[in-house]
Amino acid sequence: MGLTLTEKILKAHLVDGEFVKGGEIGIKIDQTLTQDATGTMAYLEFEAMGVPRVKTERSVAYIDHNTLQSGFENADDHRFIGSVAKKHGIYFSRPGNGICHQVQLERFGVPGKTLIGSDSHTPTGGGIGMIAIGAGGLDVAVAMGGGAYYITYPKIVKVELLGKLSPWCAAKDVILEVLKRLSVKGGVGKVIEYTGEGVKSLSVPERATITNMGAELGATTSIFPSDEITKQFLKAQKREDVWTALSADDDASYDEYMKIDLSKVEPMASCPHSPDNVKTLSEIGKMKIDQVSIGSCTNSSLLDMLKVAYILKGKTVHPDVSLSIAPGSKQVLNMLAENGALGVLIAAGARILESACGPCIGMGQSPNSKGISLRTFNRNFEGRSGTKDAQIYLVSPEVAAISAITGVLTDPRSLGEMPDFKLPAEFLINDNMIVAPVSEKDMDSVEILRGPNIKPFPTTTPLDDVIDCKCSLKVGDNITTDHIMPAGSKILPLRSNIPAISKFCFTACDDSFPERAEKLGKSIIVGGSNYGQGSSREHAALAPLHLGVKAVIVKSFARIHRSNLINAGILPCTFKNECDYDKINQGDELVLSNVRDSIEKGSDLILLNKTTGDEIVLNCELSDRAKDIVLAGGLLSYTKQNLK
């Protein structure tokens, strides 16, 4: 039987384990990326491992998240990351050069290669046929050191695309359609593989929008074939030499199947407060809006910006609306400046932001109180914009641009005929903001620049055999990492200082949690299903670790967060019987005994609720490697032990 594209790439990179669905496999990683909000920790971890030079084919450190420098902290982190990169063999994309996923796609991605990044939207690389996966900073540090990356051998979903998008309907609408069908948990443990004749009608940036937002399905990654369109894109980036044709075999077999007729896809929006709360524009109606933000790693390509400029040409942003635009990379911004489109955006009244994540991660442009904001981004979790009572709708750039002019949510199909927007035959290539590392012999001449806010990785201890403590917090379903470890302009600068950032842990749900947890010394958190969805930020595990959280017991976990807990040495348990969730209340006294032995043997754990007298059966299914990591007290201790 033939192979899927996912299987072909995974097979070529397999270094550990076997291809058994649900089993664990280790794959060789060719490329890594980090961004600055997760990067400082990742490089501290890399330094702690003591490996002098990265062993990957290409590792790149980006500065794109923490670019609002309202104090010394972010600038210090940028300098630290730049110096570590220079010393240890990593390319450094300077602030201003753009959003990691956009630049990686333009300048570094290679079809058929594996990439892991300390950012959940790393699957953007699937747009050119890479297996690109979001991971915790520690996993990326290990991969830079030459270690394998471990994933559950995924189920593979075939999404067959038919036909062609209708005018003014967008790639964003395609992924919103998938989210509507599968939900934010529907992709867990799966790779979404796009095939079918409809693939040919989508450009690389459109494909990348779709794979990018596959992260919102909880999927391991998403991938498109590498074909003539991929070749043209790479040629226009003067990188045709890295192209290879890649696709699934005709007789490949898949675990699940879905068909999407592109011609039937219509403009849609993710309504507050979840990316899968998808409605068509006609279902939502003509809603008055306060703000429009165009940009983010989902929709900030040159193609997106050219469409926006076409719609804004000769118009003025509605008097009740604030429009901000952040082109995804210096390449995009520079080309807009040269072809005159930037002038069109400025003339219409758009507030041009630097090429960075910006409002997507709450770094500025928070909406007004109860404000309605249309954003071309990928996440609309409550509070993420920086305004707690704002209502965020996720839309395509086409919907965003026309609505910015009319002041109400507007269907772009009202624009009538659509011109044929084409990618240029040649992009403007100027890599002057990418700094190459020094050669191995000059390594010692590079001094690592550490600012006072940069504190070491928290210390961990081997797993206790008896965990006897209180439940410090009980939360419900679909808790995001933005709940656990909020971002935004006030908190992000503390990403390199775990004791300081921990004071904000879970404050989105309960202001008193950090103080309570710290007073308790050790505790357990209880949650519902899809716990930890969203970002790859390992801070959502490191802050609980610092606050003494020993175990997290939930109905189900999101993939990256679960591995971040394991990497931090926190026990990730699930209820054997989901109804038992109701048998624990915040403040209850809980005991887990015989923990080490049960983990080693892979047997169920028994939790005694001393407050109620209930005995609750818990699952903590771990691969052999994950068991060793948890027993050792986390991935850093485990790796250090294994490097000896």
Please say whether the beta carbons of 9 and 126 come within 8 A: no
Among the listed ranges 419-427, 432-440, 530-538, 624-632, the one in contact with ligand MIC (CB under 6 A) is: 530-538
Q: Determine the Cα–Cα distance for residues 27 and 133; give it in Å rounded to an integer.
A: 11
Cβ proximity to ligand SF4, 42 vs 605, nearer residue: 42
For 444, the token pair is: 């010692």
* 456 C-beta neighbours (distance < 10 Å), count: 13
Position 559 contacts ligand MIC (CB under 6 A): no
Cβ proximity to ligand MIC, 37 vs 281, nearer residue: 37
Position 360 contacts ligand SF4 (CB under 6 A): yes
Name the binder of 296 from ligand MIC, ligand SF4, none, CB < 5-8 A by kind: ligand SF4
Name the binder of 537 from ligand SF4, ligand MIC, none, CB < 5-8 A by kind: ligand MIC
Q: Determine the Cα–Cα distance for residues 578 and 560; give it in Å rounded to an integer.
A: 21
* 587 C-beta neighbours (distance < 10 Å), count: 13
Binding mask 104-133 for ligand MIC (x = CB under 6 A): ---------------xxx------------
Cβ proximity to ligand SF4, 405 vs 484, nearer residue: 484
CA distances from 122 to 130, 213, 297, 328, 598 (A): 10, 10, 10, 15, 35
Cβ proximity to ligand SF4, 361 vs 571, nearer residue: 361
CA distances from 501 to 75, 320, 482, 504, 562 (A): 17, 36, 13, 6, 20
Site for ligand SF4 in 378-407 (CB under 6 A): 378
Position 297 contacts ligand SF4 (CB under 6 A): yes
Q: Determine the Cα–Cα distance for residues 121 and 109; give it in Å rounded to an integer.
A: 14
Cβ proximity to ligand MIC, 134 vs 527, nearer residue: 134
What SS3 class is residue 133?
Answer: strand
Position 537 contacts ligand MIC (CB under 6 A): yes
Q: Determine the Cα–Cα distance for residues 142 and 146; give it in Å rounded to an integer.
A: 7
* 598 C-beta neighbours (distance < 10 Å), count: 17
What SS3 class is residue 10?
Answer: helix
Instruction: Give, in degrees to the nearest 5, the angle at Cα 219 between 214 and 221.
Output: 70
Name the binder of 292 from ligand MIC, ligand SF4, none, CB < 5-8 A by kind: none
For 295, the token pair is: 């940009």
CB of 80 to ligand MIC, least distance (A): 16
CA 112 vs. chain centroid, Å, equals: 21
Residues paired with residue 25 on neighbouring β-strands, in sequence order: 151
Position 353 contacts ligand SF4 (CB under 6 A): no
CB of 63 to ligand MIC, least distance (A): 12
Position 361 contacts ligand SF4 (CB under 6 A): yes
Closest CA to 219 of 188, 245, 175: 188
Cβ proximity to ligand SF4, 99 vs 234, nearer residue: 99
CB of 125 to ligand SF4, least distance (A): 13
Position 121 contacts ligand SF4 (CB under 6 A): yes
Position 382 contacts ligand MIC (CB under 6 A): no
Where does this chain bind ligand MIC (CB under 6 A)? Answer: 37-38, 65, 119-121, 134, 361, 379, 487, 534-537
Where does this chain bind ligand SF4 (CB under 6 A)? Answer: 65, 99, 119, 121, 296-297, 357, 360-361, 377-378
